[in-house]
A = this chain, B = another copy of it.
Amino acid sequence: MRIARIQTAAGPQHAVESDGTWHHITDPFEESLRYTGGATTHSEATFLAPVTPAVVLGIGHNRTLNDHSLPIQAWHKSVHTVAGPGDAIVAARDRGTVHAEGELAVVIGKTATSLTAENALEHVLGYTCVNDVTNVDQNAVDERNFQGKAGVNYTPLGPWIETELLDPEQAGIDVYVNGTAKANSGTFNLPSTVVECLVYVTSWLTLQPGDVVMTGAPGTAVPVEPGERVDIAVEGIGTLSSIVA
């Protein structure tokens, strides 16, 4: 099932897709979804970030495809950076190279504390694509991941949440710039599994419905320039497109 958040005349509205139509729902986190009766056709839908998280976490891994020297760690990204599909990423000027990073994002569905390998995925609402935009040259003076990660619309999220992703540990991730493939990888190249990320994070912090965990870039960091279009395609979910301004 796909859950989106779409723009309507009455404001943002969560909706579930069926046969090319987005049927409006009251709350994506309820056990039994309630339909309002409203609907938007797919071609008329303007997609917003599918959730408005209180917490967005990134994962620093510790093995191949990542140069991080410490055990798995998490870090907070500002929720002010969350953007929808199509929103323009405002690339920082005179602050070095800007990277798009294609990642699988986990959307928490139920309050999650001290999860185990057995119950972790039961607390997940679903998965979406995320572009963890980064001023990569700041890393040398930014061990806390603040100034590299704080730009306007630096966290495009969407286009929707897929609740039935077949295997989040085996999802292909491709990154395109102006339609040209620049990276081809997947969550199978991540040093830690999605489950390991959730077990680690919730051993320290209780996550709430709508919180987002970005699982890391498995060789999917690609430099981008103003004027370019970047697409993050995650297998089984869809494609998140953004323009770099």
Contact B147 A73 (CB under 8 A): yes
Q: Within 8 Å CB of A77, what residues of B?
A: 76
- A74: nearest chain-B partner, CB-CB: B146
Contact across chains for A143 and B70 when beta carbons are under 8 A apart: yes
Alpha-carbon distance A81/B207, docked complex (angstroms): 11
Q: Does A158 contact B (CB under 8 A)?
A: no
Q: Which residues in B have their C-beta under 8 angstroms from that of A110?
A: none
Counted per complex, copies of this chain come to: 2
- B73 lies within 8 A of A76 (CB): no
- Cβ of A245 within 8 Å of any chain B Cβ, yes or no, is no
Question: Does A78 interact with chain B (Cβ within 8 Å)?
Answer: yes
User: Which of A76, A77, A79, A80 has the most CB atoms of chain B within a 10 A radius of its CB?
Assistant: A76
Number of interface residues of A (CB under 8 A): 30
A208 adjacent to B80 (CB under 8 Å): yes
A205, B80: Cβ atoms under 8 Å? yes
> Quick one: which of A49-95 are within 8 Å of B by CB?
54-55, 57, 60, 70-71, 73-81
Q: Assess whether A141 is in contact with B70, with CB atoms less than 8 Å apart.
A: yes
In A192-210, which residues have CB < 8 Å from any B CB?
Answer: 204-208
A146 B76 Cβ-Cβ under 8 A: yes
Which residue of B is nearest A55, CB measured? Answer: B78
A145 at the interface (CB under 8 A from B): yes
A165 within 8 A of B: no
> CB distance B205 to A146 under 8 Å?
yes
**A152 nearest CB neighbor, chain B only:** B206
B residues near A60, Cβ cutoff 8 Å: 144
5 further contact pairs, Cβ within 8 A, besides A71-B141, A73-B144, A152-B206: A55-B79, A55-B80, A57-B146, A80-B207, A150-B205
Residues of A within 8 A of B (CB): 54-55, 57, 60, 70-71, 73-81, 141-147, 150-152, 204-208
